[in-house]
Structure 1
Amino acid sequence: MKLSNAICAAASTATAVLPSCVWAQAPSNAERYGYGPHMMWGGGWYGMIFGPLVMILVLAVIIALAVLLVRWLGGPWPGSAWHQAAPAHTPLDILRERFARGEIDKQEFEERRRVLGE
């Protein structure tokens, strides 16, 4: 029983002392924060412009995706350039309607029909 108590005491002592041994090996503040190519010591300040630029770019992409998603889910708006109905009448149909209303005579109808190629 005494041996197990001795082992437990040694383990707890090692556990308590080990962090202080590791802490003693850490570099001092003078070495850690010495002059060098860090952000605020003149070597990397120009890189700070990329943070806001990337943030603006990411926001623009998110907004564009949201707009495209809303347009895709909502479908085309009436009267928009994306929603154009197919022509209901061909040129020959319009010509026939004008002849039926009496706006043009038979000779003009035949001449224009030949010009249309039908």
Structure 2
Amino acid sequence: MTQSLPQDVLDLIALEELHFSQAPEGFFKAWKRGAEIAGPEWFGDGTPEGLQGATNKWDLRPRVPLLNDALNVLSGGQRMFLSAMVSFYNAREGGAMLRRCGFEGLSDLGGLDLERRKVIADLVLNYSGW
């Protein structure tokens, strides 16, 4: 005997499928916004032209060695924001950077301004792996 699922459950499944089919593009848009906010020097080829011409997240990989070297001279908010972004690209590197910033948990992201919080929230919402 086959029993069908209630319509509200089917609607929820369809909504989730739609979200996750669009998530990679949503992630890229949020990532690019984050790179624009932080500055092109930290991503991809490090140029404004590279940032503007990027068509996917791979074009805007974080420049992790450069970021690690500069971490101590960036402002607290910039360190936290960039480290959080790196953690999507490489959990180990990003986690180490966050620890260096004194990050102890998600509530520490409360120190970010609204624009940066929205980027991090959109990255979390749309993350489907690097």
Q: Smaller-chain TM-score range?
A: under 0.3
State the TM-score, normalized to the length of structure 1: 0.26
The answer to which structure has the higher helix fraction is 2
State the TM-score, normalized to the length of structure 2: 0.24
The structure with the larger Rg is: 1
Relative contact order, CA 8 A, sep 6+: which one is greater?
2
